[in-house]
Amino acid sequence: MALCAPTLAALLLLLQASPPGAPAASLDPAPAGSRSREIQSTGSQPMESQPTESLSTESLSTGTEPALDTLPAADLDALLGGLTRSPRVVGTGGHDRGLALIEAALRAASLRPVRVEVEATRAIPTRSDVLLFEDSLATAAFAGLKERWNPEAAAPSPLPAAFAWNPSTAEARGAVVDLGAGLPADFAEAEKMRLSLEGTIALVTVPATPANRKASIRSIAAEAATHGCVGVLVAPLRPGLARDDFVLADIRPAHGRTSEETRLPVPCAPIRSAEADLIRARLKVRRIRGANGRATSVRVGPGPVEAGVNIECPVTTVRAEALQLEVPAARAGAFHLVSTDHRPDLALGGAPAIAVAVGAAAALGPAGEGSTATLWFAPRRAALPAEHGPVFQLDAVLAPRPGTPLMARLGPLGPSRLAPLLDESSAQLDARLAGQLQPRMAAAVDWVSYGLRGKDEPRRAAGAQAARALERLLAPLPSER
């Protein structure tokens, strides 16, 4: 996407030319480890391959500050490529290697991050089986999906598509009932149809892109448990552009006092649209009367097709390392967290957010004698030292998103969404974006840099104009819509 003249003009109001910084060291990543993830499927071949966190920036500069220099785009690309070579699961070598790449990039920009040891919780399924049976009498499955993940494997392996924070061990089998999008209205409609949901497995269909979902996986699971369902199967609303895709979601632990209170209330497992189609073709037909008084037939179940769900999801506390970095800021005392662990629901596992944050830190430069803010590169669920106070989540996904404080003041801007594709490489993403990865990352670096600096003048004309320019620069491509 070429930069148009109005875009350049608006960005120049924000950023003035500055001398180039010191070149960064090479970040050539090591070869990726062998895969230990296993997906077995019958009925269709498996393909290899949520609301996301908002970009928590406070403002844009009005152009009165000196221009900021960043790491060269090629170096950010090298960092991005290195971070996507293996999943950065906390407590594994993949996370350690990713943190080493981040530290190398920061030091190449003449910054001096400090390593700190932290504790973090991890709740990733080690087993997720979904088997489909013709009816309650069948003992042999006609289709299904099986996933395994071994955190102790010598070489890091891709994460399973199964959702985190499932019950520690769960085994359920029941008749499948189609409950639409899993919204409260869908469950209410099932009650109107006098469907018995007790002991059933709910099949829900949601958009694959997290930003388009009207309900979270956790809220769907809670609604299903309330109505007596013993499990949930989550299918994509429609297949991806080139293949069937799983519905990926970053399930966060609920606010509870005990480990069990943080779990999903019933086991939840993603399936592909191919499995969902096989299920729907086998559901019982019911006659319902519409608003016009005419009766129509719908395949909703329950059954006779049944699903068996078997999930193992242990919660473990692991030791990990984090990076602490002081950056210049207009006001002292701010703390920002950049997630270093793998995000299965974001493009490239959330690696672009890390690369953009590194570029922003390089743009701000070393902390001087003035006010500073603290930038943490750490796992999301890490127990950071208490003396460092509260932490604000910083999740730059290459574009500003609606709903953040800054966007609320500037008005709604069309966000750029990178559709999450499992196991996609940075080279594949760059090709899919038609060569637009570098300019998008550069614009996001500018955006985040001023947010970290802590300026609060978005209402001024220059700030609003720069925001509009960023909107045009980061507008979704046809492949992202």
pLDDT of residue 235: 94
* Residue 230 phi, psi (nearest 5): -110, 0
pLDDT of 329 reads 85
- Name the burial class of residue 28, with classes exposed (0-12), middle (13-18) and buried (19+) by CB atoms within 10 angstroms of its CB: exposed
What's 390's DSSP letter?
-
Rounded Cα distance between 74 and 106, Å, is 15
Query: Which tens digits make up the pLDDT trace of 284-305?
Result: 988 777 667 777 778 888 989 9
pLDDT higher than 90, residue 223: yes
**Residues 4, 12: contact at Cβ < 8 Å?**
no
Phi, psi of 333 (to 5 degrees): 100, 0
Count of residues making up the chain: 481
CA gap 310, 267 in Å, rounded? 8
Segment 344-362 shows an average pLDDT of: 86
Name the more confident of 219 and 23. Answer: 219
Give per-residue pLDDT as tens, 5-42.
333 333 333 333 223 333 333 333 233 333 233 444 54
From residue 234, give the alpha-carbon distance in Å to each of 262, 286, 298.
20, 22, 20
Q: Looking at residue 116, what DSSP letter applies?
A: E
In a 10 Å sphere around its CB, with 0-12 CB exposed, 13-18 middle and 19+ buried, how is residue 78 labelled? buried
Query: Mean per-residue pLDDT for 214-243?
Result: 87
Q: What per-residue confidence (pLDDT) applies to 31?
A: 30
Q: Starting at the edge strand that comes first in sequence, how are the strands of the sheet with 38-42 ordered?
A: 38-42, 143-148, 127-133, 306-312, 169-178, 201-206, 231-236, 268-270
Percent helix / strand / coil, the chain, rounded to 5: 30, 20, 50
- Return the number of other C-beta atoms located less than 10 Å from residue 149's C-beta: 22
* Termini Cα distance of the chain: 15
Determine contact, residues 354/102, Cβ cutoff 8 Å: yes
- The two three-digit tokens of residue 60, written as one number: 């844009």
Task: Output the six-digit token pair for 293.
Answer: 């008084």
Between helices 437-453 and 5-14, what is the axis angle to 10°?
30
pLDDT reading at 404 higher than 70: no
Query: DSSP assignment, residue 210?
Result: G
At 444 the pLDDT is 75
> How large is the angle between the packed helices 184-192 and 217-226, nearest 10 degrees?
30
**pLDDT greater than 90 at residue 280:** yes
- Contact between 465 and 61 under an 8 Å Cβ cutoff? The reply is no
d(CA 439, CA 445): 10
435 or 160, greater pLDDT: 160
- Residue (of 63, 184, 166, 76) closest to 465 by Cα position: 63
- Report the alpha-carbon distance of residue 156 to residue 349 in Å, rounded: 14
Average pLDDT of the segment spanning 145-165: 83
H helix intervals, 87-154: 93-108
pLDDT at 333: 78
Q: Which amino acid is at 43?
A: G
Specify the pLDDT at position 435: 72
- Give the number of other Cβ atoms within 10 Å of residue 18's Cβ: 12
Residue 434 region by backbone torsions, left for phi larger than 0, else alpha for psi between -120 and 50, else beta? left
> What pLDDT band is residue 475 in, cutting at 50, 70 and 90?
low
What per-residue confidence (pLDDT) applies to 408?
44
User: pLDDT: is 161 or 388 the higher one?
Assistant: 161
Residues in a beta bridge with 177: 202
Bigger pLDDT: 107 or 248?
107
Q: pLDDT of 258-273, one tens digit each? A: 666 788 999 999 999 8
Cross-strand bridge partners of residue 328? 372
Strand order in the sheet with 382-383: 382-383, 114-123, 315-328, 372-378, 335-339, 392-394
Question: Comparing 23-27, 94-98, 169-173, 249-253, which segment has the lowest mean pLDDT?
Answer: 23-27
pLDDT reported for residue 60 = 31
pLDDT band (50, 70, 90) for residue 390 = low
pLDDT per position as a tens digit, 167-187: 999 999 999 999 999 999 999
Whole-number average pLDDT of the chain: 74
CB 388 within 8 A of CB 374: yes
What pLDDT, on a 0 to 100 scale, did the predictor assign at position 413?
A: 41
CA atoms within 13 A of residue 289's CA, in its CB half-sphere: 4
Strand boundaries in 329-451, DSSP class E: 335-339, 372-378, 382-383, 392-394
Q: Decide if pLDDT at 351 tops 80.
A: yes
